[in-house]
Amino acid sequence: MTTTPKVGDRLSYDGAICTVRYVGEVSGTSGSWLGVEWDDPTRGKHDGSHKGVRYFTSTAASFVRPTRPTEKLQSFVRAVTEKYASELEKTTAIMFSNKIAEEVGFEKIQRKQAQLSELRAVIVDGARIATAYLEGDGPIGETFPKITELDLSRNLFQNVGAVVAICSELPALRSLRLNGNRFQDILNDKVLENAENSLRNIKDLALDDTLMSWEEICHIATKFKILSSLASSANQLFFLPETQLSTLSSTLTSVDLEFNNFTTISSVASLAGLASLRNLHLKGNFITSITQDPSETLPVFSGTLKYLDVSYNQVSSWAFVDALPTCFPGLISLRFSHNPIYDNPDPEFSIQSKVITEEAYMFIVGRLANLKILNFGTISNTDRQDAEMFYLGRIGKHLASVPENKEAEIIKQHRRYAELCELYGPPVVNRQKEINPAFLEARLVIVHFTFHSKDKGGEIVERTTRIPKSFDIYAVKGIAGKLFGLNPLGIRLIWETGEWDPVAGFDDEVEDSSDEEEEHEKGEVGEVGETVDTGEGSQTDIKTGKWVKREAELQDGPRQLGFCVDGLDVKIRVEAR
């Protein structure tokens, strides 16, 4: 005899899992209905209401008949046995001339799978598990005594107690994943009160996409007395109240809070009390700043924290990066890509090309003196020197763009300015004298032409003249041809900007790793950051490193000279075609 599901029951319809939120009649219809909330947020046709009457609240809801067939619930024992030993009764064979020949290789694989007592890593996600045992099941501890990694994600558990019952019989268990489950009444689950002994050896716990509150997450996590890694991604968290993880302060080294709804670093400031925290993952949130209020005191995390991931957020100010050493005094490894400020680091002076990501890399390395790894790439001594010189040069360009009495305001925005000046000398500030636009001087460009004369043994010949901004490139070529006795149609004009750019291809060295690589490195990057070799090679001269002088050819056409070059004093190299 079948029983009608009750509120809180977990059901599966054709592989789609849901929780019963309402049982009863629905106005305007006949008979009884089940109001269900789907785990998949894209399912469901309404929000728990019908014709203006609300029966429950959800963002992915449906009404289904109690008579609709559901998939059979499973026990942990049967789910594992079904997955890892289902082929035992089958014989894998190959036909040769209508004769059956047993394949020894497949037989060996089947025999190995059948050895359930040797299983170490078990993945039974989406297996409709609701309980540890059903009638007739053998003991978990005797059947699977060596399981060390267990994935119970997206199953039909109604309470955490069922999971504790499973773990209590797996003394070798070290890693537990419960992602996508929907546990009920967590704070009042009596089984959890005395669960420490059952969970005593587990070090890694994943509670992603469970939609638990932070209080519920901490209530579960603190039962794992030697927990070192806690994952709580995609739980719609926007603020972590004062942490209840103090009992794990000496053991918890990694916390994963990706794809939640945090907007500031202060939103997770309660984690600053974790004395052993080494890795903090905040990828894919909505973080824009360190604090909501600029006058608010910056949070300071433990000096043990070495790795921070704030990629795919909404950071749009370099002030955020400048504050990182204060908030994370031990930080040596950072992932920062895919933020607005990284995609467009210096809108006033950046060349809009792939060089932008290279400039962002330079700015971050230049601003963070202790950083050793950025976006999974090791920062060598040469990389750091190049980045710091580039950053200092860009500060000089900013200073040149403002009046002298505004210099202090610009320097205040760059905390390492004095330190970098001591290392490399102050930047050259070529501040252009302000000229009345009505004067003729404002409409003329001083052009220093240079030409390598083959007739004079390769001697560099220089000529200087003033050319109106309004002259097009054809006219400029005519002037250059006349100065050096050359055919204007047979020369090229190369504007030497005097600035340095990273060599093409440098971006390949700092590009983000693929998602596959990221998953592989994610759990190890903190450890790598501690032992990274920063290199002992000699620092190369800037001209022989990863830099080239920026040049631009003035193409034939009607464009005016004033639109093709910057400033009123430029250097142009003349080359014969």
Same domain, 104 and 48: no
Low pLDDT (below 70) residues in the chain: 1-2, 86-114, 347-357, 431-442, 455-457, 500-548
**Cα 104 to Cα 92, 107, 110, 111, 326, distances in angstroms:** 9, 5, 10, 10, 63
Query: Residue 349 falls within a domain, yes or no?
Result: no
Token pair, residue 323, equals: 């504050």
Do 77 and 57 belong to one domain? no
244 lies in some domain? no
- Please indicate, yes or no, whether residues 126 and 30 belong to a single structural domain of this protein: no
47 within domain boundaries: yes
- Within 8 A by CB and 6+ apart from 134, the residues are 74, 75, 77, 78
Q: Please report, for the domain that includes residue 135, its CATH number.
A: 3.80.10
End of a domain among 186, 202, 218? 202
The answer to whether 388 and 413 are in contact (CB under 8 A) is no
Helix axes 355-367, 381-400, angle to 10 degrees: 100
pLDDT at 88: 41
Looking at the structure, tell me whether residues 450 and 550 fall in a common domain.
yes
Are 34 and 59 contained in the same domain? yes
Residues 6+ apart with CB under 8 A from 248: 221, 222, 224, 225, 227, 274
If one counts the domains in the chain, the total is 3
Residues 6+ apart with CB under 8 A from 267: 238, 239, 240, 287
Q: Which residues of 368-404 are buried (b: 16+ CB within 10 A; e: fewer)?
A: beebbbbbbebbbebbbbbbbbbbbbbbbbbbbeeee
Q: What are the start-end ranges of the H helices in 249-380?
A: 318-327, 340-343, 355-367
Indicate whether 98 and 155 sit together in one domain. yes
Instruction: Examine residue 438 and state whether it is found in any structural domain, yes or no.
Output: yes
State residue 215's pLDDT score.
94
Q: Are residues 460 and 487 in the same domain?
A: yes
* Overall size of the chain counted in residues: 577
Give the pLDDT of residue 436. 53
Do residue 455 and residue 489 come from a single domain? yes
Nearest C-alpha neighbor of 465 from the set 320, 574, 547, 563 = 574
**Residue 345 included in any domain:** no
Q: Are residues 83 and 59 in the same domain?
A: no
Same structural domain, 89 and 124? yes
> What's this model's pTM, rounded to 2 decimal places?
0.73
The answer to whether position 119 is within a domain reads yes
pLDDT at 441: 53
Instruction: Choose the final residue of a domain: 176, 202, 228.
Output: 202
The residue type found at 40 is D
Which residues, listed in sequence order, are joined to residue 378 by a DSSP beta bridge? 373
475: domain CATH number is 3.10.20.90
Q: Considering the domain boundaries, does residue 184 fall inside one?
A: yes
Contact 451, 457 (CB under 8 A): no
Q: Torsion-angle region of residue 318: left (phi > 0), alpha (psi -120 to 50) or beta?
A: alpha
Q: 432 CB contacts (<8 Å, ≥6 apart)?
A: 400, 567, 568
Range of the domain at 574: 434-502+541-577
34, 162: one domain: no
Give strand pairing partners of 575. Answer: 492
Question: In terms of DSSP H, where are the helices of 27-138?
Answer: 76-85, 104-114
Kindly give, in sequence order, each residue whose CB lies less than 8 Å from that of residue 212, ignoring residues fewer than 6 positions away: 183, 186, 220, 232, 235
Please say which residue of 202, 226, 242 terminates a domain: 202
Helix axis angle for 355-367 and 318-327, nearest 10°, is: 30
Report yes or no on 48 lying in a domain. Answer: yes
Helices 417-424 and 381-400, axial angle in degrees (round to 10): 110
Residues 43 and 79 in one domain: no
